[in-house]
Amino acid sequence: MTTRKPATSNGRFRSQEWFEAPGHIDMAALYLERFMNYGITPQELRSGRPIIGFAQSGSDIAPCNRIHLELAKRTRDGIRDAGGICMEFPVHPIFENCRRPTAAIDRNLSMMTLIEILHAYPLDAVVLTTGCDKTTPAGIMAATAVDIPAIVLSGGPMLDGWHDGDLVGSGTVIWRARRKLGAGEITEDEFLDMACASAPSAGHCNTMGTASTMNAVAETMGLSLPGCSAIPAPYRERGQMAYETGVRIVEMAYEDLKPSKILTKASFMNAIAAVAAIGGSTNAQPHITAMARHAGVDITDADWRAAYDIPLLLNMQPAGKYLGERFHRAGGVPAILHELAVANLIDTTAATVTGKTLGENIEGKASKDREMIKTVAEPMMERAGFLVLKGNLFDFAIMKTSVISKEFRARYLSRPGHENIFECKAVVFDGSTDYHDRINDPALNIDEDTILVIRGSGTIGWPGSAEVVNMTPPDALLKKGITSLPTLGDGRQSGTSDSPSILNASPESAAGGGLSWLRTGDMIRIDLNTGACDALVEADVIAERKTEGLPPVPESMTPWQEIYRSTVSQLHTGGVMEPALKFTRIAEKMPRH
């Protein structure tokens, strides 16, 4: 029996309400007995030690997170050594690349099921195992809603991929190889070779895609131990980090260091700044917004606009050259935050899981690899945050400016007297099947002055919101060397994409947004100086078209799709389940016997 008491309001762990069940020995017996069947003793469970959940996100169908099946062993060691008892359980898997119609529909499902587990079982704290894109926000949203001590353990990225002497990063290689295939430069076999070469080991995407971005966000918000997010999955430091994380979560359980004591507006603002500095995924916008809303923090358009001025500091694909191994060796997230702190661009007083401030955690962590991590004074690029746009087509959309290529800038953004302003003729696709069916149709007359528009790809329309906006130009243009066209849509795009699309447009077409009345042939004017994006269509014509109803969207195919559609918000507001937001600090109320 431990004599140490937790700093909870009643000086007890919530698991004691199950295993001691004061006044209910019959219930205590029931709660205890079945744990005996794998050899754990009643004495252990009634010792007053914290029960630490290990929320296992890895499985054979979640390969990006599969390393956690191994890491669990080291985390358990850490939990035991620190005086806790570990109970591992599965969470709803989310695998970005394979889940149809899109993994996005499962972020809220995974969150909701994890909330039920954390609330209803005798768990005092939890290790959130993260990796693939949505596994990070799903876990954080759940732990925040329940509000028990929680720590993020990333599985880490894969080793760097190499093909023919070139670095090939996951996801990014697909978009680049697809353009080469369309241009007739490579065969389908070569395409597959390049893709497979990008995935040389266990781990999640080795580019600064959504996975690395969201793990960096978690670390920046103070939810993981410093340096956790960038350690490649197979490195020995990954196992050591798993052990240290296990040790620390036991201490956090005693300290009652809950997400509500860590996550403030400052944590989220720091995360938004970090996303700009690392050239992070545009998916960070809905995920950060969703996590903030569950934490009771309001993120406004002005907050995103303010971060537009943050420079790009990290030389990593898709915005830069290198991959995850070099990022880790160059110092990882602490080194990025160090640069931002030196330039006063983040709030270093923010709290973290270490019990120290963010500033204390990153002291002395400046990078020595200036090819990989730049200073604010000499960045990769000035103003690399997401550009927020609005106009008659949508109230909110973003553009990832850190991936605007020289070629794109020269063609669209450098007309003398009209810098950063361009006008293009829309070609509108209803979802990705329509895009694939028609993109090479010569009758569409797609040329350099075309903007490719996709609708029906938002949270309701898809459902779940699809990564489809980074549309590749038709093969005929690829063969002429035109590798990217302006694109716009109410869906998302992969964080690994190097396309400067205008995406996450909200409200989406299926919710009556402006894309619903847009027609092929309409001119669209985009002004990156002011953030205005408008279809040049007269008001009376718009009003007339609005009477014609919304473009059709596919039917729901499962119960969850139907339920999801009835509760989900737009990407602008995080794609959250609105009715779920009223449940905060759920653990304060004990579930009844």
> Does position 174 bind ligand FES by CB under 6 A?
no
- In the complex, minimum distance from the CB of residue 324 to ligand FES, in angstroms, rounded to a whole number: 11
Sheet of strand 523-527: strand arrangement:
386-389, 396-400, 502-506, 487-489, 450-455, 421-430, 523-527, 532-535
- Cα angle 210, 90, 22; round to 5: 125
The item of Mg ion, ligand FES, none sharing an interface with residue 494, based on CB under 5 to 8 Å by kind, is: Mg ion
Q: DSSP characters for 350-398? A: -B-TTSSBHHHHTTT---S-TTTB--SSS-SBS--SEEEEBSSS-SEEE
Region near ligand FES per CB under 6 A, out of 201-209, 266-274, 465-473, 514-522: 201-209
Q: Min. distance of Cβ 205 from ligand FES in angstroms?
A: 3
Give the burial class of 558: count Cβ atoms within 10 A of its Cβ; 0-12 exposed, 13-18 middle, 19 or more buried.
exposed
For residue 535, the cross-strand partners are 524
The contact mask relative to Mg ion for 94-133 (x = CB under 5 A, - = no) is --x-------------------------------------
Angle at 317 between CA 315 and CA 320, to 5 degrees: 35
Among ligand FES, Mg ion, none, residue 205 binds (CB under 5-8 Å by kind)? ligand FES
Shortest Å distance, C-beta 495 to ligand FES:
8
Whole-number minimum distance, CB 42 to Mg ion, in Å? 46
CB of 201 to ligand FES, least distance (A): 13
Of the residues 96, 467, 498, 522, which one makes contact with ligand FES according to CB under 6 A: 96
Pick from 558, 501, 45, 14: nearest CA to 285: 501
Q: Which amino acid is at 196?
A: C
C-beta of 198 vs 516, nearer to ligand FES: 198
Tokens representing residue 439 in the block: 């993109």
Q: Does 168 bind ligand FES (CB under 6 A)?
A: no
Contact of residue 59 among ligand FES, Mg ion, none (CB under 5-8 Å per partner type): none
**One-letter amino acid for residue 122 of the chain:** P
Question: Measuring CA to CA, how many Å separate 517 from each of 65, 331, 392, 463, 547?
Answer: 41, 49, 11, 20, 9
Contact flag: residue 320 with ligand FES (CB under 6 A): no
Question: Which of the choices ligand FES, Mg ion, none does residue 264 contact, using the CB cut-off of 5 to 8 A by kind?
Answer: none
Residue (55 or 485) nearer to ligand FES, CB: 55
303 binds, among Mg ion, ligand FES, none (CB under 5 to 8 A by kind): none
Residue 423: how many other CB atoms lie within 10 Å: 14
Residues 100-159 that bind ligand FES (CB under 6 A): 132-133
Q: Residue 211 interacts with ligand FES (CB under 6 A)?
A: yes
Q: ∠ CA 458-208-96 to the nearest 5 degrees? A: 45
* 205 near ligand FES (CB under 6 A): yes
Draw the binding track, 449-488, toward Mg ion (x: CB under 5 A; -: no contact): ------------------x---------------------
From 209, 279, 385, 463, residue interacting with ligand FES (rule: CB under 6 A): 209
Binders of Mg ion: how many residues, by CB under 5 A? 4
The distance of closest approach from Cβ of residue 229 to ligand FES in the complex, given in angstroms and rounded to an integer, is 12
Nearest distance in Å: CB 325, ligand FES = 16
Number of residues that bind ligand FES (CB under 6 A): 10
If we measure between CA atoms, which residue out of 272, 334, 333, 274 comes closest to residue 297? 272
CA atoms within 13 A on the CB side of 66: 12
The β-bridge relationship of strands 51-56 and 85-90 is parallel
> Minimum Å distance from CB 313 to ligand FES?
22
Q: Is 97 in the site for ligand FES (CB under 6 A)?
A: yes
Q: Which of 204, 248, 293, 374 binds ligand FES (CB under 6 A)?
A: 204
What region, left, alpha or beta, does residue 443 occupy, with left being phi > 0 and alpha being psi -120 to 50 degrees?
A: alpha
Interacting positions 243-272 with ligand FES (CB under 6 A): none
Q: What is the number of alpha carbons within 13 Å of residue 352 lying toward its C-beta? A: 27
State both tokens at 275.
């996303």
**Binding map of ligand FES across residues 53-72, x = CB under 6 A, - = no contact:** -----------x--------
The CA distance from 198 to 43, in Å, is 49
CA-to-CA distance for 312 and 298, rounded, in angstroms?
A: 25
Give the span between the Cα atoms of 206 and 161, in whole angstroms: 8
- Please state the closest distance from residue 428 (CB atom) to Mg ion, in A: 24
> CB under 6 A: which stretch of 106-114, 205-213, 231-239, 379-387 binds ligand FES?
205-213
> In angstroms, what is the minimal distance from the CB of 158 to ligand FES?
9
Report the distance separating Cα 147 and Cα 563, nearest Å.
25
In 3-state terms, what secondary structure has residue 46? coil
Region near ligand FES per CB under 6 A, out of 159-167, 202-210, 352-360, 453-461: 202-210
285 binds, among Mg ion, ligand FES, none (CB under 5 to 8 A by kind): none
With respect to Mg ion, which residue has the nearer C-beta, 210 or 465? 210
Query: How would you class 590 by CB atoms within 10 Å of its CB: exposed for 0-12, middle for 13-18, buried for 19 or more?
Result: exposed
Considering only residues 39 through 98, tell me which ones interact with Mg ion, judged by CB under 5 A: 96
**Please, which residue, 58 or 78, has the CB nearer to ligand FES?**
58
The DSSP H or E segment spanning 213 is helix 210-220
Which parts of 183-222 interact with Mg ion (CB under 5 A)? 210
Region of 77-85, 204-212, 387-395, 550-558 interacting with ligand FES (CB under 6 A): 204-212
Region binding ligand FES by CB under 6 A among candidate stretches 203-211, 315-323, 353-361, 552-560:
203-211
Binding residue (CB under 5 A) for Mg ion from 494, 499, 506, 569: 494
- Residue 174 belongs to what H/E stretch? helix 172-182
| Whole-angstrom distance, CA of residue 244 vs CA of residue 472 | 44
DSSP 36: G
What is the contact surface with ligand FES in residues (CB under 6 A)?
A: 64, 96-97, 132-133, 170, 204-205, 209, 211
What is the contact surface with Mg ion in residues (CB under 5 A)?
A: 96, 210, 467, 494
